[in-house]
Structure 1
Amino acid sequence: MTPVASENAAVTAVAGETEAVTAVEAEAVAASVNAPAVTTAPVAGPASQLLTRVLSALLREDVVGLRTRGTLVHHPDGPWLRLPAVDGDDALLLPVTEDGFQHAYAARLPLLVRESDGTHLTTSDTVLAALRALAEPVDRDGFDAFAEECGQTLATMQLHEATGQEVADGLTELYGPDLADWTGLRGGLAYETLAARLDHPVYPTARGRSGLDESQLRGYAPEFHPNFALHWLALPRESVTVAGELPDGWPTPSGLGLADLDRTHVALPVHPLTVGEPLDAALREAGLADRAVLADRVYLDVVPTLSMRTVAPAAAPSLHLKLPLATATLGLRNKRSIKPGTLVDGAAGQRLLAAVIEREPRFKGRVLHADETVYAHAGHELLAVLCRRYPADLDDCVVVPMAALLAEAPGGGLVVDHLADRFHGGDPIALLDAVLTPLFDWQTTLFGYGIALESHQQNVSLVFGPEPGDLRLLLKDNDGPRINRTRLAATLGEGEGEGEGEGEGEGGGTWGFDDARTFGPDDRAVADVFTTITLHLCAGAYAFGLARHGRAPLPELLSLVRDRLAEAVDRLGGDAAAVLRERVLNAPELPVKAMVTAGTLLSKERSGAADINKHYTTGPNYLLLEGGSA
């Protein structure tokens, strides 16, 4: 029998890289096992959709050896993956199909089958229980946690399905029936609501938020587009670090009903979901429980953005306030708090990008950045705020987060279809082409400086207009980059440490970054972030997504992605271009995020993940047009 992957080399392509199972081998396997008695299964409902995505992710990340120990076998209905029995446990069968995006194969049906008796496992709980039994004892709590995460996500998906028309009607009433009229940063909030109802391209349980019930989701989650007021906490001035000038209209303690505290305290906003035990615990940990005062008066009506912890004042949406939450998304260890160092790093990243644009003037006015230099914190991850300012001249433009492009629009169709009708003659592929050109130009230019940004779908917005044909990129969240200190030093010189951070740049300066993981000695980490963020999430996901929705054949869309990336690499030239050709364009396999493993299933000690958002496995290179998955 031919293994799906050896212990040392994962499957790297849909075809060509994996040796085929012979007919004789398939017959032998079929004769020795209970052939599954199903050829079809429902995949339309939320439970089936979720389980299919979960199984695909577990296969991709080689959970309990699904990739490295699994064997392909063929039955009349299609290919199956057989995970052999170990130490008396039952062998398991998983129906698979060729995929090619993040792994050569994906789950074809939402089920596992026990080989011995043909029992069908068709729920997340039963599937994870079966896989849990195969895991090391030290890892089994992670399977329990992931089962809980799946349950929360399923409840959220069912809630989304039940409220879809209600929310669509509400957005239409607020913003109008024509998506082209959803203009400015206010209209962008409506697009973020649509994006929040769409699954993440990679993480299977992204719609779940740990610990939140239906009333909390309806009251504070972006997919319901609620409006609510912020709480405010008066903290002793000496305990609060403030960078920059807080926005006009920032409330004083007296304005919040705490008149006797104006001279001694400063007010910070608190998300309603943080008020209570999370806030009380944070104040105790910070040593501020006896000196902080929570105002009785709420102030400032806000609307949540796609990230949920970031909110926009309803009357001034060009200001976004990023507030810590005591919940987690994209893995139970991926907490929505705000460590003070990330605020420092966001400002440092902005300074670095400004230095690049000063050297690359063609990006001035084409690549826009939110200002992230104003923030405040009291030394604790639940006592902080980032005051993000957007450019002020976008009222006549349509501002759409990339994450919304494949979302369903009110009245039908995809968001990308409506935008294509308005700006690209009804051709969504022409719109994708128009996006890829500046996106790859900007990101490959940064690579030439040794920089790769965490500018995924949520952090990149498309700015259409005001003139026909105008398209600009708008970026936010500049913390968390990866930088080749040697290449940066050679292009921009030695950066000096600024702000609070003392991160060591060793030969490339610190540029004020706090997180020492930011800098590395070579291009390895930079290329990984470029591939997993810019290529996979901002390009490949749309090629596969538009093909799935029937907008164009997949080979045509993948050729477009490769051509635009190759053009950008050719413009870049030099050693950096050679690295991108070797590690991305022509690599036999590409890095892929292993988010379930690092975020929930395994502890950092067990996974070895220095950063749960930058922990990788491998997958096929869909850019290889000959002899590869494309």
Structure 2
Amino acid sequence: MSESAESYITQRIINACVREQIGDLAHATVTRECPTSAVRSTVALHSDYWLIFTTGKGTVYLPVEQHEFMQSWRATGDQWLVKSKNQWLQQRGYRHWLSLLAYAQDEETQALFSAYCQESETAVRHRDLCLEAYRNQEAVLSLPLSARPHWWQRLLYSEQVASYLDHPFYPTARAKHGLDDEDLRRYAPEFMSSFALRWLAVEKPLLTLTAPLPSVWPSFSEVGLPEDFSHSHYLLPVHPLTWEHLTLPHAGIIRAPNSAREVLPTLSVRTVMFVDQPDLHIKIPLSMSTLGAKNIRSIKPSTLYDGHAFSRLLTEIAKRDPVLRGSYLHCDEQAGGHCGESRELAFILRRYPAEQLQESTLVPVAALASSMPDGRLYLEHLVDQFYRGDLHAWLDAYLSLMLKVHLRLWLVYGIALEANQQNAVLNFCEGRPLGLIMKDNDSARILPARCISAAPELQSAIEDLRDARIRVDEELSLAQMFCTITLQLNIAVIIEALCQRGLARRRPLYEKLRKFLQVELDSLQGDGVDTTFATQSLLQQEYLPIKYLLSAGSLLSKSRSGAADINKHYGQSAPNFLRMTNAQ
């Protein structure tokens, strides 16, 4: 475990806590005064600004600097001062930091902080392993895109590139909790090793299939079972990591002796690509949690139906709406299976529209800001190939695409997608406009009345939605999702990456974003769409919604956070970068 990794993770944790105003940080103040001149002479810790808050262990002085993105103040390092009983202590590291915030909390909250400390330790260790993988893969990563002749090879390469970059906001996203070091090397996209799936034979009445099984499925004899099992059983795929911990709930479910069908991991880890049929990916439960200990990567059976319903909705909208036509394609996600309500015995098949992708390079937004072996961003390589090195031409195309699609879905059809950086996939193709590939939309939000009013033929798909949380009855839920996913995660994070690399200046880029947003709103208003709420919530508020991922995902119980969905727990504390102009 390296000191640099621990320092890096600690600073990310501190900044997430400041951003989400966790515990006593909700009452913090900022001063320019040094704590005491005596302290300055005894410790090597200096700052122009100090964020001050009081805990049961004393008064904390955290060195901070002014910031404009997602929070007004951020820590300058992994150290701070504590004044307790007229004594000064200099502390550093995530263990001390979490101990400060957990002190005097109730027993349940202290247990959550303790568990998160273990997650932080995993994140430090996994960061070191990630850097090891990157060094070992440098030769492969350095090969140009042209060295990968097939679209699926370029997609898998892009997913691997993305795996080396941390989540922008959740501080310990590097931790794949539940995987040890060897598991990571065998099954994570950072290492990109193939492996074979395990299989269960399930009596047919116990397994619900939403569509016929694909031809890539193994025979019973291949997995070491009598071939006549095909009359009475189906084969259900299981990830090797889940296999080790799986408890079979019924005597009609049998473990097959042999593994079968080589797969390769994608960015999500639990979704893998069939080596023999690369246009087909399969999502399977995994004994792992990411983005918080509560985010266990199982599969809720209702998501099979909700994901398919949204793929139908979005495909139909793209066909009927002349503005959106040609902007995106949706993967076919109608096939899957589940054993009753078990979250460990389920799968979802995702088929990419291969016939339309032969010349495409598919890139998840999560990969754009990844650093390549030559020191440049992956985005710079893509811009060189598809935009002749004109970064601003690409940015114009990107802003236009993302805002046109997601504002129109929200304001015309009442749909907000949780298409995060992993699921928002860009379609680069020479001679064609930038496009999107959509997938995995099982946790969106929809205003049914608006959608049905705009497209009555979509009513049956809306009625098929099973998760009651998907249907909302007010505009705010859509605005929060658009803001935190499309605006902050998929657009602003990329702008910040460009600025941090010195490729552009921050204020002109945010001014450009505001202008593109205003153009789309004006166009919608000209078509008779009511844009009042969107204009007010996006352009006029001093602070924007923000996901409190660390609070809901790890540090607070559901009773404390009040979050019905831990991935949709919002605050209203992000400085509005859309109010940033060159004049400021």
The bucket for the TM-score relative to the shorter chain is over 0.9
Match of 1:460 among 415, 424, 436: 424
For residue 212 of structure 1, what is the aligned residue in structure 2?
Answer: 179
State whether residues 341 and 514 of structure 1, in contact with CA within 8 Å, keep that contact through their aligned partners in structure 2. Answer: yes
For residue 491 of structure 1, what is the aligned residue in structure 2?
Answer: 454
For residue 132 of structure 1, what is the aligned residue in structure 2?
Answer: 102
SS of structure 2 residue aligned to 1:125: helix
Distance 1:434 1:180, change over 3 A: farther
Q: Matches of residues 208-607 of structure 1 in structure 2 within 5 Å?
A: 208-259=175-226, 260-277=228-245, 279-280=246-247, 283-284=248-249, 288=250, 290-379=251-340, 380-392=342-354, 393-448=356-411, 449-465=413-429, 467-468=430-431, 470-493=433-456, 496=459, 510-573=462-525, 574-607=528-561
Unmatched runs of 5 consecutive residues or more in structure 2: 35-45
State whether residues 346 and 477 of structure 1, in contact with CA within 8 Å, keep that contact through their aligned partners in structure 2. Answer: yes
Give identity over the alignment, percent: 36
For residue 167 of structure 1, what is the aligned residue in structure 2?
Answer: 137
Q: Deviations over 1:445-503 (max 9, x none)?
A: 101211000111110111111x34532111111110111223223212385556xxxxx
SS of structure 2 residue aligned to 1:274: helix
CA distance in 2: counterparts of 1:398 and 1:138, whole angstroms: 47
For residue 32 of structure 1, what is the aligned residue in structure 2?
Answer: none
CA distance in 1: counterparts of 2:194 and 2:25, whole angstroms: 45
For residue 40 of structure 2, what is the aligned residue in structure 1?
Answer: none
CA distance in 2: counterparts of 1:446 and 1:46, whole angstroms: 41
Q: TM-score if structure 2 supplies the norm length?
A: 0.92
CA distance in 1: counterparts of 2:303 and 2:31, whole angstroms: 45
For residue 29 of structure 2, what is the aligned residue in structure 1?
Answer: 70
SS of structure 1 residue aligned to 2:267: coil
CA distance in 1: counterparts of 2:257 and 2:119, whole angstroms: 34
Q: After the TM superposition, which of the residue ranges 328-337 and 91-100 deviates more from structure 2?
A: 91-100
CA distance in 1: counterparts of 2:98 and 2:78, whole angstroms: 12
Match of 2:15 among 37, 50, 56: 56
Give the superposition deviation at 1:395: 2.6
Give the superposition deviation at 1:377: 0.9
SS of structure 1 residue aligned to 2:241: coil
SS of structure 1 residue aligned to 2:261: strand
CA distance in 2: counterparts of 1:138 and 1:296, whole angstroms: 42
Give the superposition deviation at 1:252: 3.3
Q: TM-score if structure 1 supplies the norm length?
A: 0.86
Match of 1:142 among 91, 112, 128: 112
Distance 1:518 1:494, change over 3 A: farther
CA distance in 2: counterparts of 1:331 and 1:171, whole angstroms: 29
CA distance in 1: counterparts of 2:481 and 2:215, whole angstroms: 37
State whether residues 240 and 377 of structure 1, in contact with CA within 8 Å, keep that contact through their aligned partners in structure 2. Answer: yes
Give the superposition deviation at 1:627: 11
Q: Deviations over 1:238-278 (max 9, x none)?
A: 0111112221232232342212411110001110110122x
Give the superposition deviation at 1:45: 2.4
CA distance in 2: counterparts of 1:316 and 1:82, whole angstroms: 57
Give the superposition deviation at 1:106: 1.5
CA distance in 2: counterparts of 1:208 and 1:463, whole angstroms: 29
CA distance in 2: counterparts of 1:368 and 1:548, whole angstroms: 32
| TM-align CA RMSD | 2.0
State whether residues 180 and 398 of structure 1, in contact with CA within 8 Å, keep that contact through their aligned partners in structure 2. Answer: no
For residue 185 of structure 1, what is the aligned residue in structure 2?
Answer: 152
Say yes or no: does 1:111 pair with 2:75. no
Letter in 2 for 1:208: A
CA distance in 2: counterparts of 1:224 and 1:109, whole angstroms: 30
SS of structure 2 residue aligned to 1:334: coil
Letter in 1 for 2:50: W
CA distance in 2: counterparts of 1:180 and 1:73, whole angstroms: 54
State whether residues 60 and 67 of structure 1, in contact with CA within 8 Å, keep that contact through their aligned partners in structure 2. Answer: no
Match of 2:53 among 83, 88, 91: 83
Unmatched runs of 5 consecutive residues or more in structure 1: 1-42, 499-509
CA distance in 2: counterparts of 1:598 and 1:139, whole angstroms: 12
Give the superposition deviation at 1:149: 0.9
CA distance in 1: counterparts of 2:32 and 2:447, whole angstroms: 44
State whether residues 507 and 582 of structure 2, in contact with CA within 8 Å, keep that contact through their aligned partners in structure 1. Answer: no
